[in-house]
Amino acid sequence: MARKTPITVAYGDGIGPEIMEATLHIIKAAGARIEIEPVEVGEKVYLRGITAGIEPGAWESLRRTRVFLKAPITTPQGGGYKSLNVTTRTMFGLYANVRPCVAYYPFVKTLHPNMDVIIIRENEEDLYTGIEYRQTNDMVESLKLISRPGSEKIVRYAFEYARSHNRKKVTCFMKDNIMKLTDGLFHRVFSEIANEYPDISNETWIVDIGSAKLADTPEAFDVIVLPNLYGDILSDVAAQLAGSVGLAGSANIGDRCAMFEAIHGSAPRRAGQNIANPSGLLLATVMMLVHIDQPDVATLVHNAWLRTLEDGIHTYDIFTEGVSKQKAGTREFAEAVVARLGQEPEMLKPIYYTSAPEHISSEHVTITRAIEKKDLVGVDVFLDWRGGTPDELGETFKQVSGDDLELTMITNRGAKVWPQGMPETFCTDHWRCRFMSPIRGETVTHEQIIALLQRVANASFDFIKTENLYTFNDKIGYSLSQGE
């Protein structure tokens, strides 16, 4: 008998314990060779004052098992609590969120019977690093971070996934007509890596019009790879278009750990009633079984589940008169799947798993990077100021320029307001003053920036943040202002 694979299991909050029990019951009946290490996460842990929502001991278990099967949890409302999912993803480098969005027509209602889309969402970067600052009375800022290794990892994973799952096309969504540097980097990395996979076709869409296309014609897509925020929105849209968010599972794949979960929430109002649909968590568990190299069990479970669906045994959330044959509770649904282990669907396509996509390690990505020549050429100093008009600020602020750093422009919310601003531009109390060397192309030093900040402080201005301006291999590494 094969050695059992230890997995870390969190039963979660709300409907979590019920659907986890149903799921584990099914996979054990199917012969899953696993050893469960239960850990506590979620609401109770938060309310004990642990803002990350996870006991320190749980990290130890995860370090050991490297596999995390997690039921939905409840994050209490109010300040101070961190998203456990975001924390887990970030701490363990779970860079890829994989969500199959598949239609099960005619057994589950959908307007898109032929939909079969895999959404691969970057999982660590973008606006989800959670770095935010309130800087003035008016203004709050959040940082969107996109890195080259982060982009390389997720794009490469998408192409490897496509290859190992016999998919034909990878599509990239981004918005680099507006975010030329951040989304521009994601786009460039996609194009570079796509070239290494001539057997898989590729295309790119600007996210707004691409999203419209997805909502209208999801069957036109195959694998979609995209940055975190777009992926967050569109994976939920795609799951809904396919049928129900309640049926979708997801995998979070990292270098040293992987987490599997349903995409729906903990639904506290449905808890304890034996009515919740375990399918989302079950399909996530099927992905886990593939990941821990038990494709035989994954195949058994997935096909038995498809057959149960086909046989019209449906939980309340997908129950439809005329289509469904029996309204099942959580436990009864699980028993129905167990009873069908070994059977295959007759109308829906059966699934045969072989192996997981090749693992993409960070190390592999890191060594491909070339280090570019970097030069400091200026600084943006941001101010909190309510003292008057942009022209008044410009005149006052020119005084602090000094011989070696020249005030070249002032913007408010990205719009140039000095020199030659438009009187119509509405100004908040959040100003950006750009300083560069008076000699075109000349580099500046950190000491010059420090001396500038000293002059700004001496003039009693509240500088709230700075952003250095760099060139990389003599290419400008900062955006121009609107109206520049």
Identify residues 312-371 at the interface with a copy of itself (CB under 8 A): 362, 369, 371
What is d(CA 236, CA 264) in angstroms, rounded to the nearest whole number?
Answer: 9
- Give the x/- contact pattern for a copy of itself in 248-267, rule: CB under 8 A: ------xxxx----------
Indicate the residue type of 230. Answer: Y
- Looking at 95, 159, 333, 385, which residue binds a copy of itself (CB under 8 A)? 95
Is residue 266 within 8 A of residue 75, CB to CB? The reply is: no
In the complex, minimum distance from the CB of residue 120 to a copy of itself, in angstroms, rounded to a whole number:
16
Can you say whether residue 14 is alpha, beta or left, with left for phi > 0 and alpha for psi between -120 and 50 degrees?
Answer: left
What's the rounded Cα separation, in Å, for the pair 21 and 276? 12
x/- site string to a copy of itself, residues 214 to 253, per CB under 8 A? Answer: xxx------------xx-xxxxxx-xxx---x--------
Residue 36 or residue 50: which is nearer to a copy of itself going by CB? 50
Residues 122 and 155 sit within 8 Å (Cβ to Cβ): no
Dig out the tokens for 273 from the structure.
């009633």
Site for a copy of itself in 165-204 (CB under 8 A): 175, 177-182, 184-185
How far is the C-alpha of 357 from the C-alpha of 293, rounded, in Å? 11
Among residues 131, 220, 323, 347, the one that binds a copy of itself under rule CB under 8 A? 131
Cβ 203 vs Cβ 174: under 8 Å: no
Question: What residues from 438 to 477 belong to the interface with a copy of itself (CB under 8 A)?
Answer: 446-447, 449-450, 453-454, 457, 462-470, 472, 477
DSSP string, 391-458: HHHHHHHHTT-TTT-EEEEEEETTEEEETT--TT----SEEEEEEE-SSTT----HHHHHHHHHHHHH
Please identify which residue in 5, 8, 74, 90 interacts with a copy of itself, judged by CB under 8 A: 90
Q: Are the C-beta atoms of 84 and 75 separated by less than 8 Å?
A: yes
Q: Is 268 in the site for a copy of itself (CB under 8 A)?
A: no
Minimum distance, C-beta of residue 197 to a copy of itself, in the bound complex (Å): 23
Site string for a copy of itself, 27-66 (x = CB under 8 A): ------------------------xx------x---x---
Q: How far is the CB of 401 from a copy of itself (least distance, A)?
A: 17
By the rule CB under 8 A, 111 interacts with a copy of itself: yes
Smallest separation (angstroms) from a copy of itself to the CB of 335: 30
